[in-house]
A and B are shown apart, each in its own frame.
Chain A
Amino acid sequence: MRLPVLTLVLALAACGSAPSRIVVSDAWARATAPGQSSGAVYATIVNDGGDDRLVGVSSAAASAMLHANDSSGGVARMRMVAALPVPAGARVTLAPGATHIMLGGLKAPLTAGDSFPATFRFAEAGPITVQVTVVAPGAR
């Protein structure tokens, strides 16, 4: 009795076209100094579905782009990346000193305690808007 259902489930899974199921959580940024034009947003992305890619982020607070950090040879280098793979079942953390979203041309300083919306755009899951919490620079 259960076998046909199981077969159906397996058949669906085998298609490989499971939709991605993305949750973006714990989005945060450090406060910035007056006059400082750039900041960074960090977040945790969990994908319970099929393969996906983060292809862009936008925010009314500033221009945003995906940046990777390369510290090989003791030198910190920040470079733009076009997309960030978020494979099926993956938990991708955008963390300090690693891949992050760089905010450029900040219209106003980010103040600890404030929050602002940012939209994460995924190739499969589409846009997901979350609130980014601004914390004191030494807080985490």
Chain B
Amino acid sequence: MLGKLRIALWALVLIAAATLALLLTRPEPRPAPPSGSELPLTAIGGPFTLVGADGKPFASSRLAGKPFAIFFGFTHCPDVCPTTLARLTRLRRVLGKGEDALAIVFVSVDPERDGPAEVGAYAKLFDTPVIGLTGTPAQIERVKKQYAVFSAKAPQPGGDYSVDHSASVFVMDKAGQFVATISPEESDATALAKLRRVAG
């Protein structure tokens, strides 16, 4: 009787030790990478449904057959977002193939503050077509994952917040396949060469 109990107790000790060992040796869950390096580049993109400036669903199938440059930001962004969109509209003009040769898509990562009206007004700021999109928080989270986009709220003095977000533009070909990223640090010449690969 006592012997059986001893064996049972030792078995428990062994199980506990094994569990502990497993917990200690298991790698720490890695924090989300800031620029989504975990996703293979070829996997970037895919079909999405968001909400357009008219408040109606906007399916990515509407971009089918047309190359596009997609950028994630927020309308309360005073510097990086308008700078990036201004650059894209300028480069599209330099391409000289017309507005239909490349769609410029802006997706809000701040759906709390950016409704269809906000993204619509923001996209209209430019004197050339820019597609402004928002969505439900779940829709935005999903498309962020598809494009390996990072974003996080950053509190500002006075209770307001800014949004830290991936700064790169994704260049997609007419089949919706990922071709290249354009980072803010790259020269216009480099950026233009990438756009030419899809809209040359």
Contact = CB atoms under 8 A, between A and B. Distances in A.
Which among B117, B128, B156, B157 has the highest number of chain A CB atoms within 10 Å? B156
A14 B158 CA distance: 44
Interface string B177-197: 000000111000000000000
A40 B35 CA distance: 25
Interface stretch (B13-21, B40-48, B74-82): B74-82
A75 B117 contact: no
Nearest to B117: A35
Contact of A136 (B35, B83, B127, B158): B127
Interface string A100-118: 1011100000000000000
A32 B165 CA distance: 20
Interface in A81-140: 96-97, 100, 102-104, 136-140
A30 B165 contact: no
Interface of B: 34-35, 75-80, 82-83, 85-86, 89-90, 117-118, 121-122, 124-128, 150, 154, 156-158, 160, 162, 164-168, 183-185
Given A63-B158, A75-B167, 13 more contacts: A32-B125, A33-B75, A35-B121, A38-B76, A71-B167, A73-B35, A74-B168, A76-B80, A76-B184, A102-B79, A104-B156, A137-B126, A138-B85
